[in-house]
Amino acid sequence: MIKMTRVDHRLLHGQVAFTWIRQVGADCILIANDAVAKDELRMSVLRMAKPQGVKLVMKSVDDSIKALTSGVTDKYNLFIITESIEDAWRLCKAVPAIRELNIGGVKVEDGKRQISEAVFVSDEECARIRELDAAGVHVFVQMTPSERSDEAMKLIG
């Protein structure tokens, strides 16, 4: 069962590994990212950040979609993390079971505007968020469980 799907450019770090995992009751983390799936060094670093007693799986976005739609992940309380809104959009479009998307952190880059303390979006990313919203996916911005949640559609205007 998918407990939460989150965009966070930092992927797995203390905030995610301890507060969100505990909050949603996840026993497995799926990092869906093409670059990470090809980078042994990054995978090693991410393994060190994994909370004890929680399974960690790192796959490309396409392999993540295959796993999620095949039913092989159904036995887990799954916390999915993507590095970008684009990756999350790809997952949400292909996996109907994803009905909510938490945007926790998107780094500042040229051509992006700030919509919350830790979220910077491009026009293309705003279009992806609008598309998800139109498809019935609840998209919200929230860094930690203790902070207020804001509707992404309201923030992007």
Number of domains forming the structure of the chain: 1
| Per-residue pLDDT tens digits for 35-83 | 999 999 999 999 998 888 999 999 999 999 999 999 999 999 999 999 9
The amino acid occupying position 78 is L
Tens of pLDDT along 99-128? 999 999 999 999 999 999 999 999 999 999
Give residue 13's pLDDT: 87
Which residue reads 């007693």 in tokens? 53
Domain CATH code at residue 102:
3.40.35.10
pLDDT at 141: 98
Instruction: Name the residue range of residue 16's domain.
Output: 2-156
In angstroms, the CA 87 to CA 94 distance is: 11
- Tell me the pTM: 0.95
CA distances to 19, 108, 119, 141 from 150, rounded to whole Å, are: 18, 19, 12, 5
Q: What is the pLDDT of residue 15?
A: 73
> Quick one: pLDDT band at residue 14, thresholds 50, 70, 90?
confident
